[in-house]
Amino acid sequence: MQNQSIVLASSSLYRQQLLQKLTLDFTCASPNIDEQAHTNETAPQLALRLAKEKALALTEQYPSHIIIASDQVAMLNGKQLCKPGNKETTIQQLQASSGKSIAFHTSLCVLNSATNSLKTDIDCCTVHFKKLSKQEITHYVELEKPYHCAGGFKSEGLGIALFERIEGDDPNALIGLPLIKLIGLLKEFDISVL
């Protein structure tokens, strides 16, 4: 087990809660980067680039640390979904998703800031939505208020009732941090969670 301090490059409460599952000591820092997509950048390319930029943005502040960064890009019918931010937009997003599928690309970057060695990976997960009535969507949104969640739902909560099925390797990736892949990347930096 390496004794370098771990930093999660995120202010997301969801990512913090996921990383806590691994019982590692870590601190959090919010990287300040421009998250705009580049021209002709695919969703996986965007997610991977943003995770790398988040990790690299903290190297000066944390010069001898293991920095973990992640980003998620959600795509519906070839268009990127953003965090809806309010009730109306959340309802609109879920109405657009009704009976359709959203692809979630959740990237990961682990950086040793002392050596500038970094490793990346990406998890792709597809959520297939049930056909939902406006009443069902509105009721869900009023109960859970998932305004700050990509896609407008919380799969770890009542949002699971919106789905026909989920295709993917790691349910944690959908929440925002692919733990199975993270455990593998940490092992490459001599950090074992067991």
From residue 176, alpha-carbon distances to 10, 99, 112, 116, 138 in Å are 11, 23, 21, 24, 24
**Neighbouring-strand partners of residue 111:** 67, 118
Contacts of residue 146, Cβ cutoff 8 Å, sequence gap at least 6 = 84, 90, 152, 153, 154, 157, 159
Rounded Cα distance between 151 and 84, Å, is 7
From residue 84, alpha-carbon distances to 22, 88, 148, 187 in Å are 29, 8, 6, 36
Our answer to whether residue 169 is catalytic in this structure is no
From residue 110, alpha-carbon distances to 17, 58, 85, 118 in Å are 18, 12, 29, 6
List the catalytic residue out of 25, 34, 71, 169.
71
User: Is residue 35 within 8 Å of residue 57, measured between CB atoms?
Assistant: no
Estimate to the nearest angstrom the gap between the alpha carbon of 172 and the chain centroid: 9
Backbone angles phi, psi at 55, to 5 degrees: -65, -45
Catalytic residues, by residue number, are 71
